[in-house]
Amino acid sequence: MNSVITWIAALSACVTLGAHAAPVQCIAPAKPGGGMAVTCKLVQKGLQLQSSSAHPVKISYLPGGIGAVAWNSIVTQRRAEADTLVAFSGGSLMNLAQGKYGDADVSNVRWVAALGVDYGMIAVRSDSPYKTLPDLLDALKKNPSKVTIGAAGTVGSQDWLKISLLAKQKQIDPKNLRFVALEGGGEAFTALRAGHVQVVSGDASEATLHSLDGEIRVLVVLSEKRLPGALADVPTAREQGMDVSWPIIRGVYMGPQVSDADYKRWVGAFDKMMATPEFEQLRARNGLYPFAMSGDKLTAYIKKTVEDYRKQSDQLGLIR
């Protein structure tokens, strides 16, 4: 009898060790090459910095509905997965505010950590006739139908809003702009390189990834002041006469039925990771800028942000 009990205990220990050895999964709810992928890669490398024995992080891609497919998967089928994280951005929060995830609510998931802040930007190909933001806006004012703009999401998305706000300051009706809705920043830059669109309205971290080979020209960054690093020579909108800025937080959430113990374990892990100088350097290399928040404080911040977005969208007639 004792030998049977010993055998069962040993088997149980092996199963437990095997479960803990399984990789953590970070879901990027878009195609590769965009800001969601940047977030998951930052999680992957940042957790590895913490300990050589840290569980490996596997990145998977689940595009669809600018985050809606991944959100639905987590809240309906994967509610209690303690080692599954999903990347989110300010665009995710905008979609929540506008009802693009159906009847979804901020409280449907558990918000773990915000890892950094990104900023909006507008880019063209390096062989484009548009050398500056005023060049582009002048062309849009003369004949908006001749310029195709690639953006993640449809009318009302944050990428749509970024260039629409710039256009409105030049008395251009955003309804006259010619948008092509794409699934994330990676797909938008692929379309730009191929000449399917002439302009991309996206994020600075995405532009940092795609501008290194010299084929992309960034016309403007939507930050309060110039950004350090690869985009240091790109002027802000304010420098070009337009008072528009667009900060974008990036982070991860998890399922609503993850236990309190597991949730607190992850919050603590991210707090520890984000406090290190090594992570600060890693975040900078990935085109993101300082912003660190987690747990209850992050949840309160997101609730307020979504409510603010909802009010803005309602004023613009964008709420379904």
**92 and 164 assigned to the same domain:** no
Higher pLDDT, 17 or 2: 2
Distance CA 140, CA 114 (A): 36
**254 and 114 assigned to the same domain:** yes
Weakest mean pLDDT among 93-102, 276-285, 310-319: 310-319
Q: Does residue 127 form part of some domain? A: yes
pLDDT at residue 320, as a whole number: 55
Mean pLDDT for the stretch of residues 267-275: 96
Three-state DSSP class for residue 55: coil
- Under the banding of pLDDT at 50, 70 and 90, the label for residue 1 is very low
What token pair was written down for 256? 């609503």
pLDDT tens digits, residue range 164-173?
989 989 999 9
**92 and 129 assigned to the same domain:** no
**203 and 139 assigned to the same domain:** yes
**131 and 167 assigned to the same domain:** yes
Beta carbons of 183 and 67 less than 8 angstroms apart: no
DSSP 8-state symbol, 157: S
Distance CA 227, CA 120 (A): 11
pLDDT tens digits, residue range 105-158?
999 999 999 999 999 999 999 999 999 999 999 999 999 989 999 998 777 788
Number of domains, the chain: 2
**51 and 149 assigned to the same domain:** no
Q: Does residue 320 form part of some domain? A: no
Domain CATH code at residue 97: 3.40.190.150
Distance CA 267, CA 94 (A): 24
Provide the mean pLDDT of the chain: 88
Distance CA 308, CA 68 (A): 20
| Residue 89 structural domain | 2-118+248-315
**194 and 260 assigned to the same domain:** no
* Among the listed residues 88, 119, 91, 159, the one whose alpha carbon sits nearest the alpha carbon of residue 247: 119
pLDDT tens digits, residue range 41-80?
999 999 988 765 566 899 999 998 878 999 999 999 999 9
